[in-house]
Amino acid sequence: MSLIAATRSETTKQFSTSMWWVLAIVFVLYVGSSAGALGFVFAASASGSLPGEAPQLPASEIAPVLYSAATSLGYVFPLLIGTLLVTGEFRHKTLTPTFLAVPRRGRVLWAKLIASVPLGVLYGALGVLATVGPSAALLAAYGLDTELDSTDTWAMIGRMMIATLLWVFVGIGVGSLVRNQVGAIVGVLVFTQFIEPIARTAAAFVEGMTAVTQYLPGAASDALVGASILTMASPGGTGESLEWWAGGLVLLGYAAALLALGALVSWRRDVS
């Protein structure tokens, strides 16, 4: 079977189950509600509408942080969908007929990557709509600049799309390396929701530690996008951060390394 035929088959498998759209709905609800809640607080703070002695945030920094919530808070969703695309096949043994039809297993992995591009673009677009829409509405309601007329904003949105796609690739790499679906999901959640956030927060209090944590996948993704709620909330500001292109290369490097390890270590083993 040719790569084109294998890619067509992988695309059909991706969209033949409810997994992709169920996770997409949860993704939109999560990042949309998060951006809306943060937008209300940040916009009220910047406009001086909060009661008491609440600190007043600089208005110029709010829009990028709110818009980037799709990647800074929601990157776990494209990571999970990429992981599930592979581990689901190991779990349900659907890789067996696939490998019988396409004996070259490396071609199957390439077909999965190519077929996942539309899914990554779709998740990126949904994330942008879910965060930019409510955030811009709240900023406008409080009389603050939405910055939607700025080329920098649209460049950041483009980088958000790229980051989302790269996270899908990273997920496919994780799934190809860790065949057990439960283990892969638990590992992804533990690392993204606990280990890395704690490490990056602790780095703000330890001199020189940000020189290391800036190379973590989430930090690289934030650097690629150019804005993040985590860096804004960190004591001392953003600290050390990679250039956007370097962040993209680091995240791509994680995907490539995981895919290479998966192809060498796990992908060649028996499925049944």
Q: What are 13-47's pLDDT values in tens digits?
A: 888 888 999 999 999 999 999 999 998 888 887 77
pLDDT of amino acid 17: 85
Indicate the number of domains in the chain.
1
Look at residue 20 and tell me if it is in a domain. yes
Q: Domain of residue 14: give its range.
A: 3-266
Report the alpha-carbon distance of residue 31 to residue 143 in Å, rounded.
23
Tokens 């995907």: give the residue: 255
DSSP characters for 169-213?
A: HHHHHHHHH---HHHHHHHHHHIIIIIHHHHHHHHTTSTTTHHHH
What pLDDT does residue 238 have?
Answer: 46
Identify whether 271 is part of a domain.
no
| pLDDT score, position 272 | 62
Flag whether 272 is in a domain.
Answer: no
Q: Which residues of the chain have pLDDT under 70?
A: 1, 49-57, 59, 233-240, 270-272
Domain-located, residue 74? yes
Residue at 176 is within a domain: yes
pLDDT score for 25: 97
Q: What radius of gyration, in Å, describes the C-alpha atoms of the chain? A: 20
Q: Residue 136 has what pLDDT?
A: 94
The pLDDT value recorded for residue 16 is 86
CA dihedral 70, 31, 253, 105 (to 10 degrees): -120
